[in-house]
């Protein structure tokens, strides 16, 4: 009888520990990037499912490209010319483009009145040392 009581307490104790661990784990889970609770994303998911159901070639849908398109549209919606979204391929290309060294004579150029011109020579460059000035026209 005493052994049955000990086993019962052991089972009850394990159940209490399991249930307590479950609830503690559930409330302590921290979402790294949780969706805002005040925003209803159902329209986005409805459009997503409509595309999957009604697109003429649903097997050709690129889900990752669709996600990047949604993010790109969200970023463009804030109308900030300095905020951009690059997908991983564009990010790689951008980082490669800016990681190298820059070469040249050291001028900022632009078109004014239909003519390619020097906007400004850059400080400490061969162009500045050679006497290139803002407004100089580039004809060849």
9-23 pLDDT per residue, tens:
778 878 888 887 777
Residue 28: predicted pLDDT: 65
Q: Does residue 95 share a domain with residue 42?
A: yes
Q: Which two tokens stand for residue 17?
A: 């520990």
Mean pLDDT of 125-132: 92
Mean pLDDT of 57-72: 96
Number of domains in the chain: 3
Residue 45: predicted pLDDT: 95
Q: Does residue 89 share a domain with residue 108?
A: no
* Residue 103, helix vs strand vs coil: coil
Of residues 70 and 98, the one with the higher pLDDT is: 70
Q: Which DSSP string corresponds to 63-92? A: HHHHHHHHHHHHHHTT--TT-----HHHHH
Q: Does residue 91 share a domain with residue 58?
A: yes
Range of the domain at 70: 35-100
pTM listed for this prediction: 0.52
Residue 62: predicted pLDDT: 97
Residue 2: predicted pLDDT: 59
Q: Does residue 110 share a domain with residue 91?
A: no
Residue 107: predicted pLDDT: 92
Mean pLDDT of 123-129: 91
Of residues 7 and 67, the one with the higher pLDDT is: 67
Q: Does residue 64 share a domain with residue 18?
A: no
Q: Does residue 53 share a domain with residue 18?
A: no
Q: Does residue 108 share a domain with residue 75?
A: no
Q: Does residue 108 share a domain with residue 72?
A: no
Residue 23: predicted pLDDT: 73
Q: Does residue 49 share a domain with residue 80?
A: yes
Q: Does residue 131 share a domain with residue 119?
A: yes
Q: Does residue 84 share a domain with residue 69?
A: yes
19 has which bridge partners? none
Judged against a pLDDT cut of 80, whether residue 30 lies above it is answered with no
Residue 113 Cα distances to 106, 107, 109, 136, 138, angstroms: 22, 19, 13, 13, 13
Q: Does residue 94 share a domain with residue 109?
A: no
């Amino acid at each position: 009888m005493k052994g049955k009581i000990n086993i019962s307490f052991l089972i009850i104790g394990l159940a209490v520990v399991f249930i307590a661990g479950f609830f503690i784990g559930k409330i302590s889970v921290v979402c790294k990037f949780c969706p805002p609770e005040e925003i209803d994303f159902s329209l986005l998911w409805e459009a997503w499912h409509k595309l999957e159901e009604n697109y003429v070639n649903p097997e050709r849908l690129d889900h990752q490209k669709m996600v990047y398109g949604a993010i790109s549209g969200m970023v463009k919606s804030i109308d900030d010319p300095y905020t951009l979204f690059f997908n991983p391929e564009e990010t790689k290309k951008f980082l490669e483009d800016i990681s190298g060294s820059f070469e040249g004579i050291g001028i900022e150029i632009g078109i004014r009145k239909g003519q390619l011109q020097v906007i400004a020579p850059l400080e400490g460059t061969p162009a500045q040392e050679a006497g290139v000035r803002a407004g100089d026209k580039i004809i060849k």
